[in-house]
Amino acid sequence: MRVFWVMLIAVGLSGCTSFRADSEHLKAVPADRLSAWQQTLAPSSELVVDRDIGIMGGGCYVALLIDREPAALMAVGEVATFHLPPGEHIVGITTDKQGGMLCSKGRLNRELRLQANPGERQHLRIVSEAKSGFGIVLDPR
């Protein structure tokens, strides 16, 4: 109960801005919401994507795209790992087009260019902020 109140106060103070979850609190995206880049390749680069914890958009999935193709539907506080071939890739987020409710009606299209090098692991975060909405950012761990 004490943890609940601490979290409630923290969320209230942070407004609608999301925050990074500790790695032990992240849950893996279930296999039925992963659609691509799950097979280990040789050579390959590993891409780890976390979705922050926060109120804004908390009831909606965010669709993760790799090379503009669906790769996963991610909920708040989830993490997914992808195996990419070396080279340049476009990683982006958009709304869950499969959802029939309000979540699928929004406009969201954020992308970034990523250079995948063999044997390298890169981390990205899906964030939500009150002023700018959703974003995808490089997470220098």
Please give the angle made by the CA atoms of 84, 74 and 66, to the nearest 5 degrees.
Answer: 30
State the total domains in the chain.
1
3-state secondary structure of 65: strand
Res. 116 pLDDT band, cuts 50 70 90: very high
Encode pLDDT of 88-100 as tens digits.
999 999 988 776 5
Q: Which CATH number belongs to the domain containing residue 15 in this structure?
A: 2.60.40
pLDDT value at 13 more than 50? no
Range of the domain at 52: 2-138
Output the pLDDT for position 106.
Answer: 65
Encode pLDDT of 51-103 as tens digits.
988 766 667 889 999 999 999 999 999 999 999 999 999 999 998 877 655 56
Q: Count CA atoms within 13 Å of residue 123 on its CB side.
A: 11
pLDDT value at 12 more than 90? no
> If you average pLDDT over residues 12-39, what whole number do you get?
78
Please check whether residue 60 is in contact with residue 20, taking contact to mean a CB–CB distance below 8 angstroms.
no
